Amino acid sequence: MKRLLMTLFLAAQLPAGAFAAVPARVEITYAVFLGSMKIGEGRDVFQHDGRTYRVVSESKTAGVAAMLYRLNIRRESQGRVTRAGLRPEAFSEERNGKAKRSAAFDW
Using one digit for the tens of pLDDT, what is the confidence trace for 41-65? 999 999 999 999 999 999 999 999 9
Q: Is 50 left (phi over 0), alpha (psi -120 to 50) or beta?
A: left
Q: Is the pLDDT of residue 94 over 90?
A: yes
Q: Is the pLDDT of residue 30 over 90?
A: yes
Distance in angstroms (rounded) separating the CA atoms of residues 9 and 5: 6
Residue 42, amino acid:
G
14: confidence class by pLDDT, cuts 50, 70, 90: low
pLDDT at 12: 62
What stretches of 13-62 show up as alpha helix (H) in DSSP? 16-19
Q: How many CB atoms lie within 10 A of CB 65?
A: 17
